[in-house]
Chains A and B, each alone.
Chain A
């Protein structure tokens, strides 16, 4: 249902595609200029053509991997104190919300990825999206991306659980987004952080959703290393889902729907 609704927002999709295409182009050009001027260090193991692919994939699948996806309707329901009413239906609230958030992301990506990928594949070298170096890489990318999406929903659903407790639709996101972005290496790439910090962040799940699938595509992470990392993603999912479910049920039972 959420998927169908997401698909119905045409204007938003068109605007989104245009925005992301623009950003993709800019990012690629910036990185290319940087590479040409000799800036080795930032590339973290990707060469010219790989950078372009990385950026384009990132843009095309942004809805799937970005942290700050907010389901506004759900948030306003929670903020108005009506979250408890979700329990009026014979469904498990956690899985209902999980499915809803997942579908919202999928709809966002489904609408936008094809146009962006299609055009990106047709651009002249070195700006264009290239095919993965091997079938194995391509497959790893798909699996990693899929698990990454499940993982990111399992992580971000905690923001919604916090919203149930605080009744603020913005505070949990304001708090969690920088934490996530920092831990995922989006502020400073992970290889640049102090060793001790790196070790800690290495074990947290954040980096496994954003950066990993994209690097698998370009082969920067060899296909042979993939199973270990995929397993890591799966383990985190298995840990976070029951935890989230427990937390949400506790929060909803305590949440006092306002009024007399």
Chain B
């Protein structure tokens, strides 16, 4: 379903030391640095998989996701999703995917959630009957009925996130990109969101690409992880195996905590992995 081959992308970022003198200097002679966000990223994902796309901050995760969503064009390399190049056939491609960006809302802030849903229905051109069915299913699954008529700004984060999840699935996409879907949520909401994602994958076969720093999300949802660090893919395989590797007493890498290696919790194990790979 998804093939990514040797993607490269770099940005120009400005560098400037502090102080008014430097500020003036940079007007005349801007100091720009080329930052390589992706240095040849390749992987492929089959239909129906739930893949965790993980890595430390600044590793290149968001850049890859944006390229796969079609909103960014790589400098070189290929990407085919369902036989299409995302940034070339943007509208067709985007009409078949769902996105939830945890730090950005796709609901309109001051109108009832249902109004947002109806606008999305129009944007994605969902036929009336399909929309009604989807809506009913999603409202029941995520327990939204009590606040559908409230504006998004009056909702708690947990309620809002559940609405975002529903919004991303109204048009029944078969591919879902989730970027930090549980960020800031309380324990109950996290469990609800995780259960929902698992159900969508199990019952509807929705392929899910999950980007998150919450290792518990990964453990609950993704059997396979793709680990990216400093623009390169450093691991692509089973999550369990990765954790076992970190907890292996014979491993030589440095540890953040004092605890014995075999009993590292998930976060510590993850940190150990980052440390071992030199990307912490």
Contact = CB atoms under 8 A, between A and B. Distances in A.
Interface of A: 1, 4-5, 8, 73, 82, 84-85, 87-92, 252-253, 256-257, 259-260
Question: What are the 6 A-B residue pairs with the smallest beta carbon separation, nearest first?
Answer: A260-B58, A90-B95, A87-B71, A90-B91, A90-B94, A1-B119
Size bracket of the B interface: 20 to 34
Interface stretch (B18-26, B103-111, B232-240, B257-265): B103-111
B196 to A, nearest CB: 21
B76 interface: no
B108 A1 contact: yes
A57 B187 CA distance: 57
Contacts, number: 63
5 contacts: A84-B66, A84-B71, A88-B71, A89-B106, A257-B72
B279 to A, nearest CB: 12
B73 interface: yes
Contacts of A82: 104
Contacts of A5: 108, 110-111
B123 A90 contact: yes
B50 to A, nearest CB: 21
Contact of B94 (A4, A87, A253): A87
Contacts of A89: 94, 106, 123-124
Contacts of A8: 110-111
A77 to B, nearest CB: 8
A82 B101 CA distance: 11
A4 to B, nearest CB: 6
Contacts of A84: 66, 71-72
B61 interface: yes
Nearest to B231: A260
